[in-house]
Amino acid sequence: MNRHELAQMFDHTLLKPEATPANVEALINHGVELGVYAICISPSLLPVDARGLKVATVCGFPSGAQTALTKATEAAEAAENGADEIDMVINLGLVKAGAWQEVQADIRSVREAAPDVVLKVIIESAALTPEEIVLACQASQAAGANFVKTSTGFHPDGGATLHAVRLMKDTVGDELQVKASGGIRTLDACLAMIEAGATRLGLSGTAAILAELR
């Protein structure tokens, strides 16, 4: 894998709550320079001129505890403001309660509100048991998601792990893609996640990782 191919798997991410429009402009400039696939920013910072990069944003972030209607409204507004992709957070309380029909309905509400965007469902894998990871992936698939994603990067239980990525990939097969995000800070970690089945990576330290690949 060469530098360009790897960069095209990256969502160059800025989700700090204190991020400003100037910070986003710098992110876009940096992303163009690095050749990444997409930028990922908070919905309040849309719309932007991403200069040819895909624009991803988040929904129900970071807790996932919003109502389905709130998430749907947020997703629809983001799509209207130019988002190409939406990374939504699953309702962890419903997951832990085993309310899988409600989990599926929550995801479907976002899918239906923004039918033309790429939908990634953040399952917060570090907070789930292996069985819950499998069931969360299956619910995401049934509700029409395009990706399952490991983590917000904000949960105290941690971010992406190789075990979670492998389990997610084994569950969804070729029907959905897998995005690994949260705590990925080295080239070796990126390559291991890709080997485990990830096809997209969410990163903030993009430049430093690409600098390792000569």
Which one-letter amino acid corresponds to residue 203?
A: L
Residue 172, sorted as left (phi over 0), alpha (psi -120 to 50) or beta, turns out to be alpha
- Our answer to whether residue 87 is catalytic in this structure is yes
Instruction: For residues 76 and 73, give the distance between their C-alpha atoms in angstroms, rounded to a whole number.
Output: 5
The C-alpha R_g of the chain, in whole angstroms, comes to 16
Active-site entry in 87, 106, 120, 169: 87
Active-site entry in 11, 71, 120, 149: 149
- Our answer to whether residue 54 is catalytic in this structure is no
First to last CA, the chain: 11
Give the DSSP letter of residue 90.
P
Catalytic residues: 87, 149, 179
